[in-house]
Amino acid sequence: MPHTADERRELLDRMVASEPDEDNPFTSRKSRMRRARIQLQHREHMEAQGKPFDFRTYQSKPGATAEADSPELIPA
């Protein structure tokens, strides 16, 4: 989590600069900034509640999992 206002601003700028995709369909900078602020506020709130965000569990795409986490398929 960012510790200074400058770090927070840089993080928000990086979040807003990412290309629109299925998870973040907003195309205007204003909408993307609003979404980024809400996400960051939620993570900061969870950290303050003693539930820090574990970035190791982050998946960039819904349904994406590491191959090691995938269960073995059973032939039908």
pLDDT, one tens digit per residue, over 21-33 is 887 788 888 998 9
Residue 75 domain-assigned (yes or no): no
Alpha-carbon span 15 to 69, nearest angstrom: 27
Q: Which long-range contacts (CB under 8 A, 24 or more apart) does 43-46 make?
A: 43/1, 44/1
74 domain residue, yes or no: no
pTM: 0.58
Please report whether residue 6 resides in a domain.
yes
Residue 63 lies in a domain: no
Q: Let me know if residue 33 belongs to a domain.
A: yes
Q: Is pLDDT at 59 greater than 70 in this prediction?
A: no
- The pLDDT of 32-39, averaged and rounded, is 90
| Number of domains composing the chain | 1
Range of the domain at 39: 1-17+25-52
Cβ contacts of 66 within 8 Å, gap of 6 or more: none
Residue 43 lies in a domain: yes
For residue 8, give both structure tokens: 């927070």
How far apart are the C-alpha atoms of 10 and 16, rounded to whole Å?
A: 10
Q: Distance between CA atoms of 46 and 35, rounded to whole angstroms?
A: 17
Which amino acid, one-letter code, is at 36? A
Is position 11 within any domain? yes
